[in-house]
Amino acid sequence: MKKFLIFSLILTLGLFFFSCTEKNTVEIKDKISSLSVGETHQLICVVLPLTLQAEGVSWESSNSTVASISDTGLITALEQGSVSFTCRSNGNNKVYDTMTIQVINPTYVVSALEIKGSTTITLGQDVQYTIKVTPEQANKEVTWSVNNSIFASVSSTGLLHPQGTGSIVLKAISQENSLIFAELSITIVRSFDAVLSITVLGDTSLSLTQTKTYQAAVSPSIANPVVTWSVDQPTLGTISSTGVLTPLQGGTIKVIATSIEDSSKFGELDVTILTDEIPLESFLIEGENQIVIGSDYSYQINPLPSDATHVDVLWEVDNLEIATVNEEGILHPLAPGNIILTAISSTDSSLFDQFNLTIYAPVASLQINGNPIVHLGTPQAYQASILPITSQSDVIWSVSDEQIATIDQNGLLTPIQPGIINVLAISANYPLIQDSISIQIYELVQNVVLNSHPEIIFIGSSLVLTASVSPSTAIQSLLWTVDHEETATINPTTGLLHPLTDGVITIRATSSDDVTKYATCAITIYEVISSFTINGSDIVRIGTDESYTVS
């Protein structure tokens, strides 16, 4: 009994001690198995009992080059690889928890493309275009193309090579996803030619009470027309950026127009500023007599004498529905038609001049008319139809390869060698209005020769005849005919012959380009023998000839 009481006491004390002692544990919460490079993830470390938790924890990374972890448990993925993290109790370093993750490279999918580069480029100058990819880490490989290979071509790297003036669309398609693409509209313009000379236009004399506008004629006409204005003696007069001369005192002043492209190219005009009045005797209106809606035109008078003092005039037109004109002689066309421009002296209404003008509509379209087939040695004329019919414009002609043919500015094409070229017509006033046509240049047909063929054919069969046209650079098409269509028929383009009845026919192969060049052949048509019988004796004696027939 005494032993039992002692055992019970020991057991009771053990259970009491066990129930009052809690196990030390560390557990990482919010564990993950993988993380992409550049991403972060927050871990939480739970420590029990609370008395041990108060001591805090320490975080460790097995490979800080793959991923690092902060003192608060924030993981930062740095590069691809495997890494383990340990949370260890500061109060008992033998109590910890560990987890392992894989750091992977992220996968980026192309969502949008944008082409970067100029929307207006100059003919003859290659331009590099680049692509912006969203997101920026996604695959940047694209396929480049243009919608019009006559005007431009583009390399696999986005280098655009302009070949003609006009509008094109540049396209970039994602090589990862062909449904993702970008487009950019581009205008190709001609570059200015070098300035050769400048002529200053305007009155050579004016009074102190007058102002005059001067103009600069730049040559050639396709050079940059912009100039800067200056005078050699600012004490005698000043000139504005638009060429308006304001006199200050009497004397001779030099008006100078200088090209903004080349300062060594300039024009000069000596202008006399008069202090005494010289009466105006007469004058003539000067300016263009054919103009186009869409631009304003300046008109001036040429006074006699040229040094007259008062040369101001009043401007008017006879039909305000077709055009208007302001007090400075700037005419604004409104509609196609003919008008009369009148200038009347502001000091003497008996002095006036009238000027006939034709106003054209702007060019809306241009179409090349002419034969797409040209024979070597025979020049071919092409015309450009301009619409609307109330418009007018000179046309600039060119060809894609002058080694094959040339074309003059009247549209006359001279072939040089066989081949294919493009003829381009551009409106001189509206360079974006243009048309092109593909031309095939052939040599003249010299000969047609039938190729080998049977001389006989049987009813019920068919035969394809062929012929050779020389030279090989001539038009090769032929027209096949038969002289007796009741005896046989032949396909006019393929030369397929079908016999109908027995007889003799003549086949003819004629050049479609020159009917004087042809070849012929005769073919005999037979019926097919279904059976035959040998007639004659079935006994023959030696020394005696025997005759046999077939039926």
Q: Does any domain span residue 335?
A: no
Tens of pLDDT, residue by residue, the chain (551 residues): 444 444 444 444 444 333 345 688 999 988 999 998 889 999 999 998 888 888 889 999 999 999 999 999 999 999 999 999 999 999 888 899 999 999 998 888 899 999 999 998 888 789 999 999 999 888 999 999 999 888 899 999 999 999 877 899 999 999 989 999 999 999 988 777 788 999 999 999 888 878 999 999 999 877 888 899 999 999 999 999 999 999 998 889 999 999 988 899 999 999 998 877 778 899 999 999 998 888 899 999 999 998 787 788 999 999 999 999 999 999 999 999 999 999 999 888 899 999 999 999 888 889 999 999 999 999 999 999 988 887 788 899 999 999 999 999 999 999 999 999 999 999 887 788 899 999 999 999 999 999 988 899 999 999 999 999 999 999 999 999 999 999 999 999 999 999 999 999 999 999 999 999 999 999 999 988 766 678 877 788 788 887 877 76
Residues 461 and 517 in one domain: yes
pLDDT at residue 540 in the model: 81
Residues 497 and 451 in one domain: yes
In the listed set 390, 411, 442, which residue is the last one of a domain according to the structure? 442
In the listed set 420, 442, 464, which residue is the last one of a domain according to the structure? 442
- Counting the structural domains of the chain, the total is 4
Q: Does any domain span residue 429?
A: yes
pLDDT at residue 247 in the model: 93
Pairing relationship of beta strands 166-174 and 142-146 according to DSSP bridges = antiparallel
Residues 460 and 521 in one domain: yes
Going by C-alpha positions, the residue among 376, 295, 281, 304 that lies closest to residue 330 is 295
Start-to-end CA span in the chain (Å): 148
Residues 517 and 481 in one domain: yes
Q: How far apart are CA 210 and CA 301, in angstroms?
A: 14
| Entry pTM | 0.42
In the listed set 40, 69, 104, which residue is the last one of a domain according to the structure? 104
Do residues 39 and 107 touch, judged by C-beta distance below 8 A? no
pLDDT at residue 530 in the model: 66
Q: Which residues pair with 286 in a beta bridge?
A: 300
Q: In this structure, what CATH number is given to the domain that contains residue 421? A: 2.60.40.1080
Q: Which two tokens stand for residue 448?
A: 């047609």
Do residues 229 and 243 touch, judged by C-beta distance below 8 A? yes
Q: Does any domain span residue 185?
A: yes
pLDDT at residue 307 in the model: 78
Do residues 173 and 156 touch, judged by C-beta distance below 8 A? no
Going by C-alpha positions, the residue among 136, 122, 76 that lies closest to residue 101 is 76
User: At residue 22, what is the residue type?
Assistant: E
Q: What are phi and psi of 489, to 5 degrees?
A: -120, 155
Residues 436 and 460 in one domain: no
Give the list of residues 6+ apart from residue 114 with CB closer than 8 angstroms, or none: 131, 132, 134, 182
Q: Which residues pair with 247 in a beta bridge?
A: 237
Element (H, E) at 18: helix 2-19
Separation in Å, CA 342 to CA 252, 284, 317, 336, 348: 31, 10, 6, 19, 14
User: What number of other Cβ atoms are within 10 A of residue 384's Cβ?
Assistant: 20
Residues 451 and 436 in one domain: no
Q: Using H for helix, E for strand and C for coil, what is the string for 385-442?
A: EEECCCECCCEEEEECCCCCEEECCCCEEEECCCEEEEEEEEECCCCCCEEEEEEEEE
pLDDT at residue 14 in the model: 43
pLDDT at residue 7 in the model: 47
pLDDT at residue 52 in the model: 85
User: At residue 228, what is the residue type?
Assistant: T
Q: Does any domain span residue 357?
A: no
Residues 81 and 129 in one domain: no
Q: What is the dihedral of CA 98, 99, 102, 107, to 10 degrees?
A: -140
What's the domain range around 137? Answer: 112-189
